[in-house]
Amino acid sequence: MGETDELLEEQLGRLLTEAGLTIATAESCTGGLISHRITNIPGSSNYFLGGVVSYSNEAKARILGVARRSLELYGAVSEPVAVEMARGARRLFHSDIAISATGIAGPTGGTPEKPVGLVYVALAAPDGEWCERHQWAGDRETNKRLTAEAALGMAVRYLAQRKGT
């Protein structure tokens, strides 16, 4: 948790509030856990605009605007799709920033090329888009928790860097 005892979602809320910014989410493998953690913080309605749980490829394409070509070429668990999911959530909710997560939580669904525990988290903002690849080794619940932590952490780092701290 760093130097303070603040949870990532508390840090996120504080940084968003200080900057006067809003956030949205696009989730697949986390099934709404990121949004759940954000909304656990009192006052989150001041900065959290909404989220989409787009579990199917059809939902990713139809709701978030992920290119069907990206889904065909790279698969749902890929950097391009994670970035397009974040971009789509930002556009859909008219938020300042958006975070996304897509991956294989397990215990099944993995392949040699994309093993269980492989996830991508992405952030879309006015000044750019970023994506991180992670490979977790936990069970389904652990992989979901670690992915939510990674997405929240990515947003906190972005906002802290933007603030200059």
pLDDT value for 165 = 52
DSSP letter assigned to residue 116: T
What distance lies between CA 26 and its chain's CA centroid? 6
Q: What average pLDDT values come out for the chain (165 residues) when binned by 10 residues? A: 77 98 98 98 98 98 98 98 98 98 96 96 98 98 98 98 79
What is the CB neighbour count within 10 angstroms for residue 36? 15
Give the pair of three-digit tokens for residue 91.
Answer: 């556009």
Please state the length of the chain: 165
What distance lies between CA 109 and its chain's CA centroid? 20
pLDDT value for 134 = 98
DSSP letter assigned to residue 47: T
Task: Please name which of 81, 113, 116 lies closest in space to residue 100, comparing C-alpha atoms.
Answer: 81
Can you list the domains of the chain with their CATH numbers? 8-163 (3.90.950.20)
pLDDT value for 1 = 43
pTM over 0.85: yes
CB-based contact 151:121 (threshold 8 Å) = yes
d(CA 88, CA 141): 26
CB-based contact 95:89 (threshold 8 Å) = yes
